[in-house]
Amino acid sequence: MKDQSWRWVLGLIYIITVASIWIAASFVVQSVVDAGVSPFLVTYLCNSLFIVYIPVIEIVRFLQDKYGTLLFWRNKKESKETILLDDNAETSRLVVADGCEQIIEQNVDMGLDAKGRWTRSRVAKVRLLICPFWFLAQLTFNLSLKYTTVTSNTILSSSSSLFTFLVSLVFLGEVFTWVKLFSVLLCMGGTIIVSLGDSKS
């Protein structure tokens, strides 16, 4: 029970931290845009920085492949590994370590490597699919900071909870509860109130 409570508190700390960084970043972007820098240039530079993750991920993959963990300075714990093959070209990997069993279902056609991670080609395809939408979303977000306040920008951006809830119900099999609906409607009500109050000023 203590572990669950600690994880819950840690999760809240992460959410508050992300929200604080997000709002601070919005003020920075607004000040840069107000200084005359193009929102498109800001968006392009920010999205280009994602390339920094490529060598980081490659280093992580290398350490995992060589040492089995990122904490390579610790003693490598012994683990027994059994690979079972069936007729459908699927691989079930049973990893036994510290008395715990972990079963990883793999399929060659699903773009997974021997460790159950996405292959580089699969990651590249997903990047190409998401990139235009992400760039357009960031561009419109940065453009909005040119024409409105950070308050309106942040609150209206948080209205995505409604669309996330609806899409999750339709496509992801999210379980509907009245508490979730009430929470989303409460969030939308706050969005409307703050936006109306901010528009008057």
pLDDT tens-digit series, residues 20-51:
998 899 899 999 998 989 999 999 999 999 89
Check residue 193 and give its pLDDT.
82
Q: Is the pLDDT of residue 105 over 60?
A: no
Longest Cα separation, the chain: 68
The answer to pTM > 0.85 is no
Q: What is the residue-wise DSSP string for 29-66?
A: HHHHHHTT--HHHHHHHHHHGGGGHHHHHHHHHHHHHH
